[in-house]
Amino acid sequence: MSYKSPLLNRHGAVLAGGLDAGVASHYGDPNREQRLLAGYNGLPPTAVVDLSHRGVVTVSGPDRLSWLNTLSSQGVTKLEPRVGTELLLLSLQGRIDYDARVVDDGTTTWLIVETAEAAPLADWLASMKFMLRVEIADVSADWAVLGSVAEVPEWDSLLQWTDPWPHIGAGGYSYAAVDESEHPGLERPWHEYLVPAADLVATVGQRPLAGAWAAEALRIAAWRPRRGAETDEKTIPHELDLLRTAVHLSKGCYKGQETIARVHNLGRPPRRLVFLQLDGSQHTIPAAGSAVYDGERQVGRLTSVAQHYEMGPIGLAVIKRTVDPEAVLMIDDDGEKYVAAQELIVATDAGQVVGRAKGFLRTPH
């Protein structure tokens, strides 16, 4: 039986689909929910988001951090308790198999993932245990997740993952085509709280709720890629600017490291993530997955789309790296056409850092 959140009993709740199936897309007024989630007119953010459909996997035991360090793209051996980070588990070809939000409580490492990924991730980790002192469990049924832009003081006792995006982590690298001080992700701090599933309704209490649509609009505006949306079976981290938060370029060997190093040092990613400002004159927005065209040539696909409360219709797309950044693109949703202006996220000259002068690409200060 598929999951349905008890918070769907809130007045006006409309069930979401896709990656957010099981929770509410909105509670009757998506634009107002966005404003309450983001804060507006000088008012602080107040709304929280039901993310109780998320998968949660735990790794316990004294070897947990060193073991995860050997398996993943991220350096977590010295991860301090309650410090949020992100790790990728890659294929031999460097393609993203799993993308996990990571926080440790001092005895257990918690991995928050998309709904469908918890069970296969737990199984894969269990297959990699060998003789190490680690225990893996899929605890998705017992734990729920709540999201918010502002930290909730009343939830200080809960374990909290704070999104490192868009700050460049230790060993990370920026592929963004903007100065770091101007990155739109700075306008969207993001926190996810782990809550016992049985306490979900009581923990939320009477706080205003924002639906998944509101959270997605803010994520897109922050240029934050999402596993299952911006990724496909060919995605490498460089294409999504994930080297900034999810990859440590100086850590030891792990599966997929050769591709990470080769593309970063000597090559360029074949595709790039781009932010799209869609023509707002139409009464509809295109569906995620729609083809993106530069003239007559299909150059990629729309990966995420939302109606933003200030900017109107916006989206993220993954397109060929060689597309002219000045080109006005066309989105084709089953014959319905939408004009879209590009805003660079991943620079067109990203990669190939060995032997070149410093340009758009940045290491941490």
Q: Where are the domains of the chain?
A: 1-269, 271-344
335 exposed, middle or buried (CB, 10 Å; 0-12, 13-18, 19+)?
exposed
Q: Pick from 113, 155, 146: which is nearest to 6 by CA?
A: 146
Q: Pick from 51, 46, 335, 87: which is nearest to 197 by CA?
A: 51
Give, to the nearest 10 degrees, the angle between helix 30-38 and helix 212-221.
60
The topology (CATH level 3) of 1-269 is Gyrase A; domain 2 (3.30.1360)
Class of domain 271-344: mainly beta
233 exposed, middle or buried (CB, 10 Å; 0-12, 13-18, 19+)?
exposed
- Residue 264 CB neighbour total at 10 angstroms: 24
Place of tokens 């296969």: 120
Query: What pLDDT is stored for residue 362 in this prediction?
Result: 55
Residue 76 CA: distances (Å) to CA of 102, 109, 111: 9, 10, 12
Query: What pLDDT is stored for residue 365 in this prediction?
Result: 45
Do 336 and 290 contact (CB within 8 A), yes or no?
A: no
Query: What pLDDT is stored for residue 226 in this prediction?
Result: 98
Whether the model clears a pTM of 0.85, i.e. scores above it, the answer is: yes
H-type helices in the chain, by residue range?
30-38, 64-71, 118-127, 200-204, 212-221, 257-265
Question: Which tokens belong to 133?
Answer: 């002192």
288 exposed, middle or buried (CB, 10 Å; 0-12, 13-18, 19+)?
buried
Helices then strands, counting H and E runs in the chain, come out as 6, 18
- pLDDT tens string, the chain, 365 residues long: the values are 589 999 999 999 999 999 999 999 999 999 999 999 999 999 999 999 999 999 999 999 999 999 999 999 999 999 999 999 999 999 999 999 999 999 999 999 999 999 999 999 999 999 999 889 999 999 999 999 999 999 999 999 999 999 999 999 999 999 999 999 999 999 999 999 999 999 999 999 999 999 999 999 999 999 999 999 999 999 999 999 999 999 999 998 999 999 999 999 999 999 999 999 999 888 899 999 999 999 999 999 999 999 999 999 999 999 999 999 999 999 999 999 999 999 999 999 998 886 555 544 555 54
Separation of alpha carbons 58 and 118, rounded Å: 10
Say which amino acid occupies 42: G
Query: What pLDDT is stored for residue 320 in this prediction?
Result: 98
Query: What pLDDT is stored for residue 276 in this prediction?
Result: 98
Query: What pLDDT is stored for residue 130 in this prediction?
Result: 87
In the chain the beta strands, taken as DSSP E runs, fall at 14-15, 24-26, 48-50, 55-60, 85-90, 96-104, 108-113, 135-138, 143-148, 159-162, 191-196, 209-210, 271-278, 291-294, 297-308, 312-320, 328-333, 336-344
According to DSSP, the β-strands at 48-50 and 209-210 are parallel
